[in-house]
């Protein structure tokens, strides 16, 4: 059993880790040539993304330069609203992100109290988001929308691969994906129910901890960045 221990106010609380992943392909506009050029400059000159890196981009600049940005937000708002999450997206933090693939990881050591809701803005580069614990693969293309538990291991890999390989993301490969990412509160009743999360599954252990972490069958665990498998945390 996977358990996420996360900050809830001033205390650590426990919950199950959901294997529910919701996805769809939304009709969103292609970024303008000006915005694409700006993203290319940012990822190549300032971020200098290495294989597997996932880094934030300047959101305000994209909002200002891309008139169709609001259409993307509206499409995500409509999608999450249809899932029963009316108003949740508008009240959640959003970031613009870039990745050159992504090593397998979970995000519950920093965002254990959240679910991620992502909208991919780049064209198909032959990459999938892969959830190794369940085997689920979702092709990344413009308009791919995802909602999932931050404690669920995931990576961005080549479509023909079953693991993360740095050689697949060499500098001469056009493999950078740009996406919007919202942090939805897992304790919102609607979010928790949609992802089928059970809360307070390990109260006594939670009381002894002072940071966010994930446990498997009673022990702290980490994710192998190449395979996505759980192993004991150091």
- Model's pTM, two decimal places? 0.96
- Residue 172 pLDDT more than 90? no
Spatial contact of 6 and 15, defined as CB atoms under 8 Å apart: yes
Give the pLDDT score at 134.
94
Distance between CA 69 and CA 58 in Å, rounded? 13
Q: pLDDT tens digits, residue range 56-84?
A: 999 999 999 999 999 999 999 999 999 99
Put the strands of the sheet holding 2-8 in their side by side order.
11-16, 2-8, 213-216, 219-223, 230-232
Categorize the per-residue pLDDT at 234 as very low, low, confident or very high, splitting at 50, 70 and 90.
confident
pLDDT at site 229: 96
Q: pLDDT by residue (tens digit) across 90-145?
A: 999 999 999 999 999 999 999 999 999 999 999 999 999 999 999 999 999 999 99
Q: What is the pLDDT of residue 173?
A: 87
Polymer length of the chain: 234
Flag whether pLDDT at 192 surpasses 90: yes
Whole-number Å distance between alpha carbons of 155 and 103: 5
The CATH number assigned to the domain with range 20-194 reads: 2.60.120.10
Q: Please say if the pLDDT value at position 219 is more than 90.
A: yes
Contact in structure between 57 and 96 (CB atoms under 8 Å): yes
């Amino acid at each position: 059993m996977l358990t996420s221990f996360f900050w809830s106010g001033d205390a650590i609380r426990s919950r199950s880790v959901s294997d529910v992943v919701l996805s769809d392909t939304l009709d969103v506009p292609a970024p303008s040539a000006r915005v694409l050029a700006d993203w290319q400059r940012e990822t190549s000159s300032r971020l200098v993304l290495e294989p597997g890196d996932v880094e934030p981009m300047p959101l305000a600049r994209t909002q200002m330069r891309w008139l169709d940005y609001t259409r993307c937000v509206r499409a995500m708002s409509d999608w999450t609203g249809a899932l029963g999450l009316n108003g949740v997206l508008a009240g959640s933090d959003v970031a613009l992100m870039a990745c050159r693939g992504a090593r397998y990881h979970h995000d519950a050591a920093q965002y254990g109290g959240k679910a991620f809701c992502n909208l991919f803005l780049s064209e198909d580069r032959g990459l999938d988001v892969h959830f190794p614990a369940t085997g689920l693969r979702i092709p990344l293309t413009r308009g791919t929308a995802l909602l999932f538990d931050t404690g669920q291991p995931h990576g961005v890999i080549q479509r023909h691969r079953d693991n993360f390989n740095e050689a697949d993301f060499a500098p001469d490969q056009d493999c950078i994906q740009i996406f919007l990412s919202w942090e939805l509160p897992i304790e919102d009743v609607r979010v928790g129910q949609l992802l089928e999360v059970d809360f307070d599954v390990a109260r006594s252990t939670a009381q002894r901890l002072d940071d966010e972490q994930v446990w498997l069958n009673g022990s702290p665990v980490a994710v192998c960045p190449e395979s996505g498998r759980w192993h004991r945390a150091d």
